[in-house]
Structure 1
Amino acid sequence: MCIKIVATNWSICGVCENLQITKQSVVWCSECDEGLCGECKNHHAVSKASKSHETVFITEYKKLPTEVLQIAQTCKLHIEKFELFCRKHDCPCCKKCVKSHNDCKSLTDINELTKNIKTSNAFYEFEQILLEVIENIKRLNTNRKENLTLLENKKREIVAEIKQTRINVNHHLDKLQDDLIKELMRVEQKEKSKIEKLLTTLKTKEKEITEVQENIASIKQHASELQTFLTIKNIEKDIAGEEKFIQSITTSDTTNQINISCQINKSLQQITASVQKFGEINVSSDQCDFSIQKRKDRQSQIMVALPTRNIKNLSLTLQKRINTELSEVYGCSLLPGDMMVFSSSFDDRIRVLKSDGSKDFEIKTIRQTFDVVFIGNDSIAVTSSNSNQISIIDLKKQKLKKSIKVNSYNGGVVYNDGHLIYCAREKGIQMISLCDETVTNITNTKLTEYSYVTKFGDKLFYTNSDNDSVTCCDYHGNILWTFCDTSVHAVSTRYLCRQ
């Protein structure tokens, strides 16, 4: 369990306060855990002991969530900095704390855990879990609203049936008809109220998770590495609770598919004095087919769904020939409506073809075009082999939408869930978010200029023309296998077909 204490007074310079001087602080140093005035800030920036410390303006630091600001970065018992993290007890430790963790074999240097945490795959996975939880809440909302619509439609059908039957009977059955409709309204309202109550709860949960997402952006920009790490540990517990809550809902009868029906009294066909009811309203409850989507579950489903086929039994059939009229086509991608896009490094252009192979349009303003991939929203991304720019093209407007600057030349590229995964030469495989343009390293394996990458299921596959190889890894960069065949000409491993 993490220990929380209230942080030092941000508005007062900690150094000056120790000298019995009161000065307003302008920046905050998380390493020193104190504010600094303008003069002390300058000394702090050149001091050998603190020049590597990162500072943030007080006005920005105060924007961090309260629970982040209250996280202690020093041991409350020993007043020393945390240096280790005990995985067994899920808590940080200082050197003196180690005495009470003698039996713990999972003590880890906390600097190793917090290093580059904001750009790590673990942090990316954490953000994806948040997105996943809120997406599940939205899907639950949609599911329940659809049930409301079904109830409304069924109600209208039943009312129509009742009234149609009523046309064939005498006027003395008016009271029986009214009683049946009232019962229908009562039952429908009762079931409707149950669903609306659940929707209200889900809306509250969605708002809470949304607030956590908003806080994450601030934490990512302004919190220290340690604060970020410890905050994540705290939020993970809350998210686990929310996931259990959603799981409990889907396994309870509150998400059963509610239906209503009506059974008209057949005796009405031969009206007698014994008929006392116009019909009956029945409520049936079928188990909801809603299932929570989880990243690990989806990966397992993908793995199970992959067919086992022997390559020797595969046969190829020529479907169509396309004349691109381009030289040195290095990239291609299929577009909606059976359209196609090709990139030519020699001609410095991309060309979009219609389904019949005729030219739709082309763009010549991108230099050294390499690979191209469809990213949804009527857009494509184009990499440049001798540039650190990735271009986003609007297919509807047929022009450049924006350019994204990355820290390397870029080659083969594939799109996955709001991110571009591309070959970054000596930097290996990198992934950039199209939302906030943050870059994450997947693997540091040095690649050639003519390397390509694609995905299939939960795996990535990339080529290396220098050693005639194709490598398979997961999204964390863990290599699963590498296939090499030196008898194959290097050019053959330059291209890698997409799924």
Structure 2
Amino acid sequence: MEAASRMTLCGICKQKRVCCSAVVWCTECHNGLCAECQNNHDVSMTNHSTITVEGYLNLPPFIKSLPLVCKEHNKKLEKYCFDHNTPFCFLCNEKYHGCCAAAVVDLDTMIPNIKSSPAIENMGIKLKEIVGILQKLRLDRSENLLKLKENRTKIKNKIELFRKNINEEIDNYMQDVDLALEKTRTEIDQLLGNIVKREGQMLELSEGITEIKSNATNLQIFLGTKQLEKTLDSADNFVHSVINSNSLDTISIQSDTELSLTNPIFDLNKYLTVSTTRQPTIKEFMPPNLKQVQTPILKDTKVTLNHQFNIKRESKNLAISGLCVMNNNDIVFADSNSDRLIIHDKNGSFKFEFYTEQENSFDITQLDDVTVAVTSGDDEIYIVDLSDKKVSKTLQTKDTCYGVQYSNGAMLFTVKEKGIRKISMSDFKSKYIYKSNISWGSYITTFGGNVCFTNRELHTVTLVDSAQNIIWSFSNKNVLQQPYGVTSDIHGNIYVAGYRSNNVVKISHDGKSGVEVINHGSNIDCHLRAISYVEQTKQLLVTSEEGTVFVYDIK
């Protein structure tokens, strides 16, 4: 898109070599239009929308610079891949995203109501929160600089009383003081510069939220929110790294010796010394809702591979996204690249497969001895009778549903950007039990009346109670990246499959401890995704998206 200056010319008139100021901007043609050309344009392009030139110019630069056509093929962007976090045209689909069916959505289905979506509102709130934190950090470091100056003034006053007799030596001593001051000031100035820079970036983005909602196209908003998520993630990491390191220690300089003319001085180099001390800050910078649990290490978990097997394939593009273990220990797998449910016995032998004749499947949970519920990754949940091999009922959710868990006569499932819904299996009435901006592809598990869910975009695992209160939120990118499948044992310990980190992390029931118990390294043919803990056998079943099942004994 050609960037407009404060005076925007009519694009059509410019092609005719006529200089005429634009009064509106077409968000489809990406051109300014004068009053005369606007009239012709509105007649011939009835499906195009326009905004004022002033509204266009007030959009944040990163929104105006977003590419709205495929850079490689110069075609309209039609789909979005959540695995690659990128939009693409129809020509890119087969070339780059052949194995991403479960993570691909049509942009036309995603963007119509995006201006009213809570996602952009939540980003505006998050931006303001980070700006507030950065302002506090800037003030704290500025106050420390003032304190350092006060330290120097106090030392200088003491030195002046002593300077009369040893003027030359005292000057050397003051140089040491200034060197110490300069060293600590440089450290703080560097951090303060980074803080001020981040604060400016966040403030600019925050101030642009209103203009984005008012003037940006739905596509611009959708693509912009994805870029904002990356920017927020970077800023969030920066804030946590500053707070959790020793960067906010209160730095002081002082004289280590009580100066007195009565003291015998033989070696001034040893007598006059300068030292720097650091005292950890006791100030609170993070609001309670932004605090995250960090990771002490569990030492008592032993995991041993019992056996592994491969799920029967229909095609090379097998993508296992969900599993559940039935009461007879049969294992049912959901293939998100097709409408297949695949059943193996506990030893890994293939039993049968079943085509639901629906568009897709995502996650799966057992309802009774022969019945399972399957989320579609869209707006439907299928109730499947495995004994009759048919879909006995289809529930319309009206929302995009992903992870699902059956508990106490009800199904709980995650809803993209909205939260967690509960459907009673007695009357099929539903309600939201937790409202939050949950990411695409979130999974869910329950224990003790609490609900635990993953957020692959924020790399978090969160536990909430029945009153919608967050009990804890676990995040550590050094251990867990892109968490997908999640399960729990009877003690409330949480096991999470990291898709990008390609591992399994165990989180204690209180969220205060976590440890990597399984690691598949950088194996490009194995991305861990679905997971289930079997209490009867004390085993953990972990399935790669590519269709390899690992059965681990847990001690």
TM-score of the two chains, using structure 1 as the length reference: 0.49
**Counting strand residues as a fraction of each chain, which structure ranks higher?**
2
Q: More helix by proportion, 1 or 2? A: 1
Mark the structure with the bigger radius of gyration.
Answer: 1
TM-score by length of 2: 0.45
Bigger relative contact order, structure 1 or 2 (CA pairs below 8 A, ≥6 apart): 2
